[in-house]
Structure 1
Amino acid sequence: MKIKTEVLKNDWKLFELSNDNGMKVSVLNYGGIITNITVPDRNGKPENVVLGYKDYEDYVQNPVFLGAIIGRVAGRIAGAEFSLNGENYELEKSDGENHLHGGSKGFHQEIWDTREFQSDTEAGVELSLTRKEGVDGYPGNLDVKVTYTLTDNNSLQINYQADTDKTTALTLTNHSYFNLTGDLKGTVHDHKVKIDSSKFVELDENLIPTGRQLDTAGTTFDFREGQRLSEGFNSSYEQNKIAGDGYDHYFIFDGEAGEKVTASDETSGRKMVVETDQPGMVMYTSNSMDSSLQLAERDSEKYLGVCFETQGSPASLQHDGFPGIILEAGETYKKKTVFTFLTED
């Protein structure tokens, strides 16, 4: 296990975690952004499996949140406001009339403090951040830690921890776009995805939850037995059309914590297993991505990556019966998501 650190301009640091199996994970202290995950294909050829910019300067704007830590609240908050304990909190309208991914003062725009660690079986970097009350419109001073750990069995573990001195809204995630073809050789049309979910959240035309939870059964949202993402891209189902001919929806996981998602690419033989103790996730299939981004391997395009944003549901701020995102003062937020990379013949 190794850690290599490179100092960039603007007080940015790039940490490269590597193991002896050919897997590498590169992380910036800016935004806690994962810029590269290199894993071997079935023939042992190491290639990158996430979207990252060719020029690091592009992470300053980063309109599609490539690889970033998202907070305080991942997802859209309808009307850019919410009420908590009798008080109303107005947030930045960063997505039309709504608040998205913490707004322009979100965690993806911060330089985090860092601490490296390593042993014979793992290498990692702990990122920490203190967010003062009122900076982003949310209540409470917040201390956050996000830890990226690469293990010798090709797992990337992400541990989230946060404490607040005042009850607040919080749900954190990582916004990496995965593409298992390797070095962006193709789109994710043929990625086969399996999700442990029998319910998903209905969206309106502004991608805001309506308050209804729909059955996945009999729809292009039923991934319980596994299906190709192209099933949704080519579907006439209204919920796929609303999202731009794809997916940008919250899936509520069935059962307890554990293995919740698998994604595989038949051509490369790569398979990714997602384990989490989060109650659900947003799967986003880069439906609104165009050719304007210069990525490390090529220009961007629609359907070039898929995000598995494990998190609670911001819809719980407006509707009952959704996985909650309220962190009480004195409580500690602790969540974990693990991405493990395998190959299949």
Structure 2
Amino acid sequence: MQLTNKHWGSVANKDVQLFTLKNSHGTKVSVTNYGCIVTSIETLDRQDKSADVVLGYESLEKYLDGHPFFGAIAGRYANRIKDGKYVLDGQTFQLETNEAPTGQHLHGGCKGFDKYVWDHAIEETATGIFIHFSRVSPDGESGYGGTVNVVNTIGLDEHNQVHFNFRATTDKATVINLVNHSYYNLAGHDSGSVNDHQLTLFADFYTPVDQQSIPTGEICLVKGGLDFTSATVIADNKTKLSEAGYDHNYILHHRHKEGDYALVAELYDPSTGRVMSVLTTQPAVQFYNGFKLSNKPWFARNGYKYEACSGLCLETQHYPDSPNQPHFPSTRLNSGEVFEEKTIHRFTLR
């Protein structure tokens, strides 16, 4: 295992670093302490050719100019909260309604966890390197209650596994939902659409949403274009959809256990042979196929322009709007408790 880092700029007079982790199999992960953004994941294909399989930029300045959460942490609450409002112990908390098309609270607000410079500590083991990013989110930040200490660990091991671990504590009751928001294209970030990828989601149910993208509270069986219970070409399923694209919360059944984790998704690109298996402790995954990427011009590394469906997200997390849906798994974190969730993205070949 190798680790290099370099000065990548500064934000609010804080030093921004870019770390690159590399294992003996040629897999490389680059991540910065600004927003815990994974800027690059390079892996080999069946012809031993390397490509970057996540969407992103080559400079800090481009991220500072704005982006649709390419590779970043989303929090304090990832996904949506209805009308930006929740109630805990009789107290109402009003958050920003920062998602313009829906009028809902999204991914922690206008300045969520993705827009801060995080402290960091490096852990090197015999089989992997892990970077522990940490920060304190003060009481009232973005409207949330409670001072929260957060650690987001991102690592690479010799088994071609990229680790995303979250740990948090609070001094008083709050809500929390954290996720890494990388967009993947296993043919390479600049190779066009992911429509030809094959996807398997180990989920029998999903949570339908209203016109503002907020769960109705129903739990429904996947069927038709939403059914990925066996490997399915994304383009084939899309023809069965009445809506524009995928931005759906799938409920994971956790039948295929590997220690603390469950195998919950597999993504396969037939053109390169790359496979990405997703293992997690989280109860759900938000599958977003990037169909909104054409809404703005996003120019990536080497000037490549991302269009709709240039990459997809498999965001392991809790359900959207859980603070307002008491029958959903709770996202409440109390003083004295520890929030801890872990996800692995494992890269293999077929």
- Cα separation, 1, equivalents of 2:55 and 2:206: 26
Give TM-score, length-normalised by structure 1: 0.95
- Quick check: 1:319 aligned with 2:319? no
Structure 2 distance, partners of 1:199, 1:192, is 19
Specify the alignment match of 1:65 in structure 2: 69
Shift of 1:117: 2.2
Matched-pair identity in %: 34
Question: Which of 19, 32, 53 does residue 28 from structure 1 map onto?
Answer: 32
**Correspondence for 2:131:** 125
Counterpart of 2:32, as a letter, is: L
Matched, 1:7 2:11: no
Aligned counterparts of 2:208 and 2:320: Cα–Cα separation in 1: 13
Equivalent position SS for 2:61: helix
Q: Following the alignment from structure 1 to structure 2, what is the Cα–Cα distance between the partners of residues 95 and 125? A: 31
Q: Tell me, which stretches of 5 or more residues in structure 1 are unaligned?
A: none
Q: Secondary structure at the match of 1:260?
A: strand
Partner-residue secondary structure (3-state), 1:9 = strand
Partner of 2:85: 81
The residue number in structure 1 matching 2:282 is 278
- For 2:164 and 2:323, locate their aligned partners in 1 and report how far apart those are by CA, in whole Å: 25
Q: Which SS does the other structure have where 1:220 is aligned?
A: helix
Residues 15-54 of structure 1 mapped to structure 2, 5 A cutoff:
15-54=19-58
Deviation of 1:209 after TM superposition, in Å, equals 1.3
Task: Write the distance in 2 (CA, Å) between the matches of 1:92 and 1:276.
Answer: 29
- 1:167 equivalent among 166, 173, 176: 173
- State the SS of the aligned residue for 1:338: strand
Check conservation: 1:283, 1:307, Cα contact below 8 A: yes
Compare 137-146 and 221-230 and name the one that shifted more. 221-230
Question: 1:265-295, CA deviations, whole angstroms, 9 ceiling, x for partnerless residues?
Answer: 0000000000000000111111111160111
Distance 1:258 1:41 in 2: 25
Q: How many residues align?
A: 337
Taking structure 1 as reference, are residues 204 and 309 closer, same or farther at Cα in structure 2, changes over 3 Å only? same
How far did residue 151 of structure 1 move? 0.4
- Partner SS, residue 108 of structure 1: helix
Contact 1:22 1:39 in 2 (8 A): yes
**8 Å CA contact retained: 2:8, 2:60:** no
Conservation of the 8 A alpha-carbon contact between 1:211 and 1:315: no
Aligned match for 1:151, one of 144, 157, 170: 157
**Deviation of the 1:19 alpha carbon:** 0.5
1:124-152 residue CA offsets vs partner (Å, 9 max, x unmatched): 21100101001211110000001111000
Q: Distance in 1 between matches of 2:214 and 2:18?
A: 35
Does the CA-based 8 Å contact 1:314-1:324 persist in structure 2? no
For 2:125 and 2:328, the matched residues in 1 are separated by: 40
- The alpha carbon displacement at 1:319 in A equals 2.1
Shift in Å, 1:226: 1.6
List per-residue Cα deviations over 1:162-221 (Å, max 9, x = no partner): 0001111101000000000024212100110101101111111221211112110x3211
1:247-282 Cα offsets, whole Å, 9 max, x none, are 101000013541110000000000000000000011
> Shift of residue 101 of structure 1?
0.2
Alignment partner, residue 226 of structure 1: 231
Distance (whole Å) between structure 1 residues aligned to residue 165 and residue 328 of structure 2: 23
> 1:24-49 deviations in whole A, cap 9, x for unaligned?
00001000000000000011111100
Tell me the SS of whatever aligns to 1:317. Answer: helix
Match for 2:162: what amino acid?
L
**Separation of aligned partners in 2, 1:299 and 1:49:** 15
- State the TM-score, normalized to the length of structure 2: 0.93
Report the AA paired with residue 147 of structure 1.
T
Partner of 1:184: 190
2: CA distance, partners of 1:160 / 1:95: 25
Taking the aligned partners of 1:251 and 1:325, their CA distance within structure 2 comes to 17
Matches within 5 A, 1:93-108: 93-96=97-100, 97-108=103-114
1:53-87: CA deviation from partner (whole Å, max 9, x where unpaired): 24421212433110001110000111011111111
> What SS class does the counterpart of residue 142 from structure 2 fall into?
coil
